[in-house]
Structure 1
Amino acid sequence: TLVAKPQDLLKQQIAQGSGRRLNGSVATEYTVVAPFKDSASNAEHPHLSARLHTRLYDGGASIRTDMVLENNWTFKANPGNLTYELTVRRNGQIVHTQPRITHNYQARWHKVLWTGATLPQYRVRHHMPYFLASKATWNYDLSLRIPDSVLADEARVLASSNTAPMGPAMLVPYFPTTGGRSEIGPQPRWTALYLITQDDRARASMLANADAAAGVPVHYRDEGSGQPLDVERNPNVAVRFGSSTPKLPTPTGTTIYTPDTAHQASFGYMPYLITGDAFYLDEAMFWASWNIAAVDPYYREGAKGLIYGNEERAQSWALRSIDEASRIVPDNHPMKSYFQTRLANNLNWYVQNYPQNANAAARSPFGAIKSPWDTKKAGPWQNDFMTLVLTQIAEDGDPQGRTMLNWITGFTVGRFLNEANGFCMAKAPGYWWDVTDASNQFFSSWKTLFDTNYAGSKGASCAGMAITEGSPDRVDDYAAYARAMLAATSSAGITGASGAYSKWKSMTPKMDAGYVNDPTWAIVPR
């Protein structure tokens, strides 16, 4: 039997004013870290620990505790899955029981518990136009009227999902699964639904899936710092690819999850902005930390934390996670400068290797990022992903993000603007294009790019040309990705993007009806 007794620790912290995260007229919150000890020997369990974010209302008359169970130390020997059941008592009275579960290694779960006076009956609603105008996220289309049937179906699917600790909820456990998925996009589908409706059913879905992501074995907490693993303290550590120094212990057991970066959602960012809960702040940090440490130390240049060694969509989503963490980690948090520096390191690398590369032959005159696996080709849609992430960074005022955005939009926006130069807009939502010739020299004209990749349309008039790629009638394919990218770049002030968005919108009218069912990519100009 393992026992954790955080109450005495909490009393000490209140008396000393330590571990205090919130301190205001309405509530005060303390974070208590409590080890589990063997009730017979008093020996600490090497892997299982509790973190309690305890919020006191009305001088402690009402207490909200976000109880977090973690099995995620990085360097302790013999990590693995743990099977247990849990009982939580307050002053001898049982307030929660958790039936037998198997807790994944490098994972965590949580449960919010209220004790004391009657629970407060309120729900915060944000002024969403202001929320979006803050540029904390992309400008989702608030004019959409989501049918109640869509929200009811969201609740039905969630109710039939496994939302127990370590359950996947609505996530696809095998991340490399290809094709459109609800979690893949600038923000997941359920988050877009919430931003547009603020409906409780969408909120429940968003938070349940964020909770499910906590069960994925990517959560490494450094025993030395008490924070998510960082490559500044451990420049040669590797959690996925490459040789790790120090070597990480091999865990026992398996999980249902296979995480990767190329098919990764934003899990904790928006839930933290909506709730302010420390659990979701930690989630955002854990995922960003893993995305950095998962890159081979050789390619990430050790402590620099570079992510260019991934395919481009993986770079995009990893960069998004680093940017999100650098934004929301409070200024006085010990990890703030870590994520800010890793973001700056990556943006500097992109700028130096693309727009400011002294070797002109090494950079596309259009602004295309090539595939690392086939250096003749570039994926327009993957470049769109990167462009979307860069719009958010640039709108946050980052000069290097702006420099990189200005460069890449020469390709991503440019392919919608150059019909006069021989590239028909109807072919803009392509899959893979050759961007170099047989000698691996970049094409320098839009006509050559078009004629090489669309030889069957060579010489044809652009007027009335059918859109044959990217599923222009759907909201979850390349044509929709491009439309969201054009909206975001229009908001970011990229020359020509506003006109390109308007024309592309007129060419994809059937997409509009679909957004009410799936607003994942329903981004419009600010």
Structure 2
Amino acid sequence: MSQSSSNPFTIQVQAPAAFFATFSLSSATGGANLPFTLGQAFRQGQVPAGKFVGSSLAGLQVTPKNYWPDGSLKFAILSGRATLAANTAQSYTLNAAGAAATSAALGTASLRATNLAAAVGAGSFGTASWSGADWDTPFLAWVSGPAMSSWIYRKPIGSDAHLVAWLEVRLYAGGAVEVLPWVENGYLKVAGPTNKSATYSFTLGGTQRFSAAIDLPHHCRTVLLQGTAHSHWLAADPGIAPSHDKAYLQASRLVPHYRATVPSTAPALSGLTSSYSPLQQGNYSNAMGQTGYHGAIGLIPEWEALYLTSSDARPYAAVIFNGYAAGRYGIHFRDETTQRPLRFSSYPNLVASGTSAVAGVGGSTKGQTTPAASGTAAPVWDTPHHPSVGYTAYLLTGRFYFMEEVQFSATLGYLKNPDNHRNYSAGLFLSNSGSNTTRGAAWSLRTLAQALCATPDDDTALRGEFSASLAANVEYYHSTYVAKPNNQFGFVVPYTNYTQGTGVQSEATWQQDFFTAAIGYAIDLRPPLAAAVLVKLNAFFAWKAQSVIGRLGGTTSGEYLYCDAAQYYMPVAPVERADFEGGTGPWYASWGDLYFAAQRTRNPGVAGPLRGGNFPDATGYWGNLQPAIAYAVQHGVPGAQTAYNRMISASNWNELAAGWNKSPVWGVQPRAD
């Protein structure tokens, strides 16, 4: 009898790819194959060069916009379709084990096949309309893929020389169409800028979706929306609300790392804007430039910090609607020769006109200014108090509108400064320029770094301009404070003396802290600078960080006692006007001497609680210094960890820290990695 046998075999069960981040989607109505798009930041090295993002959601499209210096993915736009139950959040994972897309991208022929028609009206100024073959020639293609393609369109409204209608049109697989329309009144050098008052309307698919009387000031723009919708849809709005993996977003380093956990009962949440109307104030200040705390001020505004530190749904809407509302400021100087924000190298002597709705504009050595403006004025934009606008909204949504808002803010910082102070097209932001102030330079450098980060890699013209400007600032500050002897305290030259007539020069330490934080944050964004420039950037930051590390000193006579680190101002030199640029001072001999000058007593040699600086107000001067010392620790500056430990070991530290669970904007902490 023959014996039979079977060949042995092994069943291999492949484990699912390890995920590194999640995102969730919810819809008030629910449904099958609901279209969505969101932005997604990635940690450096998470998705290496040659690898692709995978997901637990089948068919997820990933459109890269930026890469880290090592070639790994930095930022991308995610699109797809999801089946959701009403009011039930569904979570999806992201991994680095995906495959390259093989399906053909949706093209303008597919958009045209939807029979889409759209029109923007502006009363007697005229109408800009699109239909049929108009869709074949977009201004630019923003996203291209099989799940979603997006195009930017623009047309002048009637024969007006300034008024332009813009659309971002998204076409999804399955035929859904989403449109974001806006109107802009802001060219760089076209004569006669003035307000454009009219009844503005938007019609989509033959149905009027928006109509309102708007008095649009010069160099402003407005999205044509009203209410709680984030955009217009040709058919039913799927009403999808995304939520990001907030811990991972902070770990990406594209936003600061916050220590807070904000409960849904926090009063700050109830004050957030929850809808949009054209040119609304939203959560911005009544008057940019007013003294005291305001939630718009910080590396990012408080409503964006609330999104990162709360599980509540309200901050997401506030980020979007405040991002749209930034159009109310007269900062939109679009170059009519390129139809993009201006390039510094093209306008080395051009300065904003004194009739602009911008505070503290400088002068031009060649007399070259933007054309004189008239008519209804926009709310004043003040560089020393200007918030980050559009940046976080772009990270969350991937919208072209928000990306350009960051660019407009950065180019306005250049345009308002005297041409010789900014070193013409180099784009320097000096801490002692009358058009900046120390904090003005800090926030301008923050905005410049954000613009460089947000500008897509393939936008080589503007990316190159922002990179060159940041490199020029690094070279200037390094050559002034590091390459030659200067003060040991990390103070850049102040724009004024807070104690004029007393025989000493005093500076607002919180403004120096803003500057330190802005540079530390810029390093986190890993700007695309030459290796030698990056070395200088880190060296300058190590020097600059001494201004906060030294104030968190110990109990010896040569140190500044940490208990008193948070002052409104303090002496920085023993003369009325020290030589900062030349580095010759004269300077105090030690932090101990500086402590004596500030406190009128020697370091008592005894540790104690934190005091002064409006303690324990989380938005006071103790709050203001947190981002500066956090980045000093994170970037490994010698002495930073010891200084930080002194502060957080104080007996009353928890009183201060508790406040960030109500108002988190200054509660930045070092990352563990």
| Larger fraction in helix | 1
| C-alpha deviation, 1:10, in angstroms | 4.2
Provide the residue aligned with 1:475 in structure 2: 618
Task: Give the Cα–Cα distance (whole angstroms) in 1 for the partners of residues 221 and 346 of structure 2.
Answer: 23
| C-alpha deviation, 1:245, in angstroms | 4.6
Q: 1:416 to 1:109 in 2, by over 3 A?
A: same
| Larger fraction in strand | 2
Task: Give the Cα–Cα distance (whole angstroms) in 1 for the partners of residues 184 and 312 of structure 2.
Answer: 31
- Contact kept, 8 Å, 1:62 with 1:114, in 2: the verdict is no
Measured against aligned partners, the alpha-carbon deviations of 1:185-228 in whole angstroms (never above 9, x if no partner) come to: 12111000001125321111122222222110111001011111
Provide the residue aligned with 2:211 in structure 1: 98
Q: 1:86 to 1:443 in 2, by over 3 A?
A: same
Of 530, 554, 575, the residue aligned with 1:438 is 575
2:621 matched to 1:497?
Answer: no
Provide the residue aligned with 1:158 in structure 2: 273
Task: Give the Cα–Cα distance (whole angstroms) in 2 for the partners of residues 506 and 229 of structure 1.
Answer: 49
Provide the residue aligned with 2:328 in structure 1: 215
Measured against aligned partners, the alpha-carbon deviations of 1:321-346 in whole angstroms (never above 9, x if no partner) come to: 00000011001113111111111111
Task: Give the Cα–Cα distance (whole angstroms) in 2 for the partners of residues 381 and 419 of structure 1.
Answer: 22
2:299 matched to 1:186?
Answer: yes
Task: Give the Cα–Cα distance (whole angstroms) in 2 for the partners of residues 29 and 254 of structure 1.
Answer: 34
2:178 matched to 1:64?
Answer: yes
Task: Give the Cα–Cα distance (whole angstroms) in 2 for the partners of residues 50 and 219 of structure 1.
Answer: 14
Provide the residue aligned with 1:285 in structure 2: 407
Of 150, 153, 161, the residue aligned with 1:32 is 153
| C-alpha deviation, 1:458, in angstroms | 2.4
- Contact kept, 8 Å, 1:370 with 1:376, in 2: the verdict is no
Aligned runs of 1:116-515 on 2, under 5 Å?
Answer: 116-141=234-259, 144-150=260-266, 154-156=269-271, 158=273, 163-239=276-352, 240-243=361-364, 245-255=367-377, 257-308=379-430, 309=433, 310-333=436-459, 334-357=461-484, 360=485, 363-374=486-497, 376-397=505-526, 398-420=534-556, 421-438=558-575, 440=578, 441-455=586-600, 457-458=601-602, 460-464=604-608, 467-507=610-650, 508-515=653-660
Provide the residue aligned with 1:48 in structure 2: 163
Q: Paired residues, what number?
A: 504
| C-alpha deviation, 1:170, in angstroms | 1.7
Measured against aligned partners, the alpha-carbon deviations of 1:454-494 in whole angstroms (never above 9, x if no partner) come to: 11x32533333x54421221100111122332222212222
Residue identity matched to 2:455: V
Residue identity matched to 2:207: Q
| C-alpha deviation, 1:156, in angstroms | 4.9
Q: Identity of paired residues, percent?
A: 24
Task: Give the Cα–Cα distance (whole angstroms) in 2 for the partners of residues 330 and 131 of structure 1.
Answer: 18
Provide the residue aligned with 1:41 in structure 2: none
Task: Give the Cα–Cα distance (whole angstroms) in 1 for the partners of residues 261 and 480 of structure 2.
Answer: 44
Q: State the Cα RMSD in Å.
A: 2.1
The range that moved more, 285-294 or 113-122, is: 113-122
Which stretches in structure 2 are left out of the alignment for 5+ residues?
1-123, 353-360, 498-503, 527-533, 579-585
Provide the residue aligned with 2:67 in structure 1: none
Q: 1:410 to 1:418 in 2, by over 3 A?
A: farther
Residue identity matched to 1:57: Y
Provide the residue aligned with 1:40 in structure 2: none
Task: Give the Cα–Cα distance (whole angstroms) in 2 for the partners of residues 502 and 447 of structure 1.
Answer: 20
| C-alpha deviation, 1:256, in angstroms | 5.1
Task: Give the Cα–Cα distance (whole angstroms) in 2 for the partners of residues 490 and 36 of structure 1.
Answer: 53
Provide the residue aligned with 1:115 in structure 2: 233
- Contact kept, 8 Å, 1:6 with 1:33, in 2: the verdict is no
2:632 matched to 1:517?
Answer: no
Q: TM-score, structure 1 length as denominator?
A: 0.91
Q: What is the SS of the residue equivalent to 2:129?
A: coil
Task: Give the Cα–Cα distance (whole angstroms) in 2 for the partners of residues 343 and 198 of structure 1.
Answer: 35
Task: Give the Cα–Cα distance (whole angstroms) in 1 for the partners of residues 205 and 443 of structure 2.
Answer: 46
Provide the residue aligned with 2:72 in structure 1: none
Task: Give the Cα–Cα distance (whole angstroms) in 2 for the partners of residues 395 and 87 of structure 1.
Answer: 43
| C-alpha deviation, 1:55, in angstroms | 0.6
The range that moved more, 271-280 or 476-485, is: 476-485
| C-alpha deviation, 1:91, in angstroms | 4.1
- Contact kept, 8 Å, 1:435 with 1:449, in 2: the verdict is yes
| C-alpha deviation, 1:366, in angstroms | 2.0
Residue identity matched to 2:466: F
Task: Give the Cα–Cα distance (whole angstroms) in 2 for the partners of residues 106 and 232 of structure 1.
Answer: 21
- Contact kept, 8 Å, 1:381 with 1:481, in 2: the verdict is yes
Provide the residue aligned with 2:58 in structure 1: none
Q: What is the SS of the residue equivalent to 2:237?
A: coil
Q: What is the SS of the residue equivalent to 1:212?
A: helix
Q: What is the SS of the residue equivalent to 1:237?
A: coil
